[in-house]
Amino acid sequence: KDYRRRFVKEKEEALGRDGEQSEGKLHDCGQYGPVVTTLRVSLDQVRRDNPIAAYYLFLAACVDQKDIPLDFLETSSSYERDEAISTLNSYRLITRRPAESKED
């Protein structure tokens, strides 16, 4: 229920921003509206649940989409790193390799 409430709120805010930018013009939100809204809500939730996981996700976006060594993901403990990776995995934002030595 909380996710749905945030999804609706985010969508309304996005439509409001679009309306401000294109006032008086016809504007089609297109098929990407729900996808972008869902991703944004998920990223906000990841930030709240585990800030290190959010940092890893944004770091990975700047580095490469595949074969990121676990050693590259710095943290004060392996437990924090494992928790951050677990958070990202629970949102299906990463792909674990069978060897578990790299993340995508």
**For residue range 24-52, what is the model confidence (pLDDT) as tens digits?**
444 455 555 777 888 888 889 999 999 99
* DSSP letters for 8-75: HHHHHHHHHHHHHHTTTS-----THHHHHHHHHHHHHHHHHH-HHHHHHHHHHHHH-SS-EEGGGS--
pLDDT given at position 41: 86
Report residue 104's pLDDT band, with 50, 70 and 90 as the boundaries.
low
> 99: which DSSP letter?
T
Residue 22: count other Cβ atoms within 10 Å of its Cβ. Answer: 10
Is residue 64 predicted with pLDDT exceeding 80? no
pLDDT given at position 90: 92
> 78: which DSSP letter?
H
Candidates 65, 73, 61; CA nearest to 95 is 65
pLDDT given at position 63: 82
pLDDT given at position 24: 47
For 53, list phi and psi in degrees, rounded to 5. Answer: -60, -45
Q: Give the tokens for residue 11.
A: 């969508």
pTM, rounded to two decimals: 0.61
Is residue 20 predicted with pLDDT exceeding 70? no
